[in-house]
Amino acid sequence: METLLTIFIFGLLVTGTTLLIKNIFSVSEQQNGILSNTNQATLISSAFVNELRNATYGANGAYPINQAANNQLIFYSTATSVNGTVSQIRYYISGNTLYKGITNPGGNPLSYVGQTEKVTTLLTQMSMGGNPLFYYYDGTYNGSGNSLTEPVNINVIRFIKINLTILKDITPTGNSTFTVSAGASIRNLKTNLGN
């Protein structure tokens, strides 16, 4: 009887220790995923701000902003090129994934039509919950106030904000989120720079 009791207690201790160790590693893995997503969102928002600040007229003479929608933005910028080429940059969401496409001009005269777009996956685990990815503001924006409403007139946009909402819990039932926001003025469209 004592032997059976000892085996039973030993079995409980082994099971408890195994579950504890499994839980520790599971939580650690989840925390690493959260930190990785946070870091990635911060890097993306920083790159977005840099590209947006350097937005300029396209190599084909197109206006700096090509398209401005809730979940897609297309603009022209020199920030992604090494030799000063003006690239067409497209940020967009499909499903729960954020993508970035870059198209360099080609042909004579230069054009973006018919050129290959290089698409990169930036973030998975997005959880926008019906909220827009982009918010657009006119020249009167001072850090507060309402964004422009859809459809947005691209000619009045002077400031654009990106809002990245990402799942905290990397589990099938997780729905806790965090948000990384960043925004910038388009330097080449500012009207308050003076002479």
Q: Taking the domains of the chain in order of start, what are their residue ranges?
A: 2-189
Q: Report which residue type is found at 144.
A: S
Among the ranges given (56-65, 79-88, 134-143, 167-176), the one the predictor scored with the smallest mean pLDDT: 167-176
Which pLDDT score, from 0 to 100, does residue 123 have? Answer: 86
CB-CB contact of 86 with 77 (8 Å): yes
Which pLDDT score, from 0 to 100, does residue 193 have? Answer: 46
At 133-149, the pLDDT tens digits run: 999 998 888 878 888 88
CB-CB contact of 158 with 190 (8 Å): yes
Q: Assign 61 to helix, strand or coil.
A: coil
pTM over 0.85: no
Distance in angstroms (rounded) separating the CA atoms of residues 36 and 172: 18
